[in-house]
């Protein structure tokens, strides 16, 4: 049995602090320099005495060192769990867009030139029946999407009221993605009458940059409208998570640091406030003079944010991918049409079925998403040392590369610069842990 450093193990020399991280266990440890060197050079040394054998046995139990076969088994186990989740029927995930209409005129909006239908009562009733038909599901999660979903607050209210009359399991999770301009007045009753776990609102940078892009039909900016609505919402609904996405491209990278500080201070004490950069990555390297950022630029941007005190969250296992990879996940459009991906919404050639039918109408696309849309079906990804925590799994981009000769960057930004972002993140987390320990003492 030949042991060597697991391919999932990273050695971090943080200025005299020796850390070991393993992506398969998603744990990291502080070790002394002797252990660090032992792991680093295990391939080229012979274990000769009892103390080294004991150390090797201990590191082996933690999977810090492994055999080649054990590393292959780790990859297979992750793939098996991922596929089991993908084809499970014990949950139902719905993204419902009651309309593709919007009350804003953003120049980059992906809904431009798409049919602006509004869901009618017959479609609402059929959605309720569609949900009831999935009576094998133990959990249901709903995300309200658009267009601007709060333009159809009455339809949302009707669907939720009808669902509450059924014996279907209670909603495990419910979220709404809104531009925030209508988050006020009569519309707030929706959050009083029904359980919402979260809302997501987006800013396009500082007030100046935001108001250049997020305009009303008459050309006026919306920054202060959204901010005023958030003030009231935070006060009225302290238990609802508020996710604030700051859109970042090549033109406004520093806006995130400013807004993160500004909003954190404005809503000081609100523990369920989540502010994060929504970095607009390049859709393809073939796009010229676009404001999007490529992976290396995104990685550098995150490292700069960290150097200014913004802590990126700890890595997480990726057992689920996105909704397009999951059999029991649907995007429902305002006509009752079914999609697998948010980006497909409003595109007739991307419809995979309808809530009115029991059969799928586009097997090629459905099969593509389920069988080829995940990194778990990519042999090069299965060999990657950060496969268990890979956070880059866009099924839409993957299919575009496979079948349309596109050139989307599919890899996680963790891979850039010899995994430097991942290493910096772990060192920063370790330093915070040490500071907290010192503070407790």
The side-by-side arrangement of strands in the sheet containing 329-332 is 273-279, 241-248, 198-203, 171-177, 139-144, 91-96, 329-332, 337-339, 353-354
438 confidence band (pLDDT: 50, 70, 90): low
Which residues are within 8 A (CB) of 68 and not within 5 positions of it... i.e. 6 or more apart?
2
Q: 347 near 114, Cβ under 8 Å?
A: yes
| Residue 415 confidence (pLDDT) | 92
62-71, 176-185, 304-313, range with the lowest pLDDT: 304-313
Q: What is the pLDDT of residue 113?
A: 63
pTM: 0.93
Instruction: Report pLDDT for 291.
Output: 81
- State what percent of residues in the chain have pLDDT above 90: 79
Mean pLDDT value of segment 398-406? 94
User: Per-residue confidence at 108, pLDDT binned at 50, 70, 90?
Assistant: low
Query: Of 214-218, 221-225, 243-247, 386-390, which range is least confident?
Result: 214-218
pLDDT for position 201: 98
Strand 91-96 and strand 139-144: the pairing is: parallel
Does the structure show a pLDDT above 70 at 114?
no
Q: Is the pLDDT of residue 320 over 70?
A: yes
pLDDT of residue 300: 92
- Cα–Cα distance measured from residue 364 to residue 394, given in angstroms and rounded to the nearest whole number: 18
Sign of torsion over alpha carbons 161, 163, 167, 173: negative
With bands split at pLDDT 50, 70 and 90, how would you rate the model's confidence at 318?
confident
All residues at 6 or more sequence positions from 34 whose CB lies less than 8 Å from its CB, including other chains = none
Q: Is the pLDDT of residue 204 over 60?
A: yes
Mean pLDDT of 209-215: 94
Q: Kindly tell me if the per-residue pLDDT of 337 is higher than 80.
A: yes
Residue 305 has pLDDT above 60, yes or no: yes
What digits encode the pLDDT tens for the residues 229-254? 999 999 999 999 999 999 999 999 99
Q: What is the edge-to-edge ordering of all strands in the sheet holding 9-13?
A: 9-13, 18-22, 27-31
Assign 1 a pLDDT band (cuts: 50, 70, 90). confident
Query: CATH 3.20.20.70 region(s) of the chain?
Result: 97-280
pLDDT reported for residue 205: 95
Quote the pLDDT of residue 210: 96
pLDDT of residue 170: 77
**Range 293-306 average pLDDT:** 92
pLDDT, residue 289, reads 54
Which of these CATH numbers, 3.40.50.1820, 2.40.50.1020, 3.20.20.70, 3.60.9.10, describes 97-280? 3.20.20.70
What pLDDT was estimated at residue 434?
Answer: 83
Q: What is the mean pLDDT of residues 287-312?
A: 85
Sign of CA dihedral 223, 226, 232, 238: negative
pLDDT band at 347 (very low <50, low <70, confident <90, very high): very high
Nearest C-alpha neighbor of 243 from the set 143, 391, 108, 126 = 143
Query: So what's the pLDDT on residue 282?
Result: 67
Q: Is the model's pLDDT at 25 over the cut of 60?
A: yes
Please tell me the predicted confidence (pLDDT) of residue 225: 97
Q: How confident is the model at residue 273 (pLDDT cuts 50, 70, 90)?
A: very high
């Amino acid at each position: 049995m030949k042991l060597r450093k697991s391919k999932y193990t990273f050695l971090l020399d943080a200025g005299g602090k020796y850390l070991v991280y393993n992506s398969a266990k998603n744990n990291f440890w502080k070790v002394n320099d002797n252990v660090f060197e032992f792991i680093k050079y295990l391939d080229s040394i012979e274990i000769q005495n009892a103390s080294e054998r004991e150390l090797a046995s201990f590191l082996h139990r933690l999977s810090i060192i492994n055999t080649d076969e054990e590393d292959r088994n780790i990859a297979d186990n992750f793939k098996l769990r991922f596929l089991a989740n993908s084809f499970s029927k014990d949950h139902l995930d719905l993204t419902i867009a009651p309309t593709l209409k919007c009350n804003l005129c953003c120049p980059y909006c992906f809904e431009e030139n798409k049919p602006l239908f509004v869901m009618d009562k017959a479609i609402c009733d059929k959605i309720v029946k569609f949900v009831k038909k999935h009576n094998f599901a133990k959990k249901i999660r709903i995300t309200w999407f658009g267009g601007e979903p709060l333009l159809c607050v009455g339809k949302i209210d009707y669907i939720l009221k009808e669902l509450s009359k059924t014996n279907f399991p209670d909603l495990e999770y419910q979220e709404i993605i809104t531009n925030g301009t209508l988050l006020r007045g009569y519309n707030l009753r929706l959050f009083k009458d029904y359980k919402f776990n979260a809302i997501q609102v987006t800013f396009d940078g500082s007030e100046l940059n935001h108001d250049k892009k997020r305009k009303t039909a008459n050309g006026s900016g919306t920054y202060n409208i959204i901010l005023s609505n958030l003030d009231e919402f935070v006060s009225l609904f302290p238990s609802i998570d508020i996710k604030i996405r700051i859109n970042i491209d090549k033109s406004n990278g520093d806006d995130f640091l400013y807004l993160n500080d500004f909003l954190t201070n404005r809503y000081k004490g609100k523990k369920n406030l989540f502010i994060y950069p929504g970095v607009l990555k390049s859709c393809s390297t073939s796009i010229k003079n676009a404001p999007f950022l490529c992976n290396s630029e995104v990685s550098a941007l995150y490292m700069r944010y960290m150097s200014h005190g913004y802590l990126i969250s700890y890595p997480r296992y990726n057992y689920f991918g996105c909704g397009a990879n999951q059999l029991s996940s649907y995007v429902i459009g305002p006509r009752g049409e079914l999609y697998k991906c948010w980006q497909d919404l409003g595109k007739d050639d991307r419809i995979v079925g309808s809530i009115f039918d029991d059969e799928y109408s586009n097997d090629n696309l459905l099969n593509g998403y389920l069988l080829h849309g995940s990194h778990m079906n990519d042999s090069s990804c299965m060999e990657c040392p950060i496969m268990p925590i890979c956070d880059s799994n866009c099924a839409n981009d993957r299919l575009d590369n496979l079948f349309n000769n596109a050139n989307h960057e599919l890899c996680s930004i963790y891979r850039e610069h010899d995994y430097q972002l991942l290493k910096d993140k772990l060192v920063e987390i370790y330093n915070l842990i040490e500071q907290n320990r010192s503070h407790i003492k």
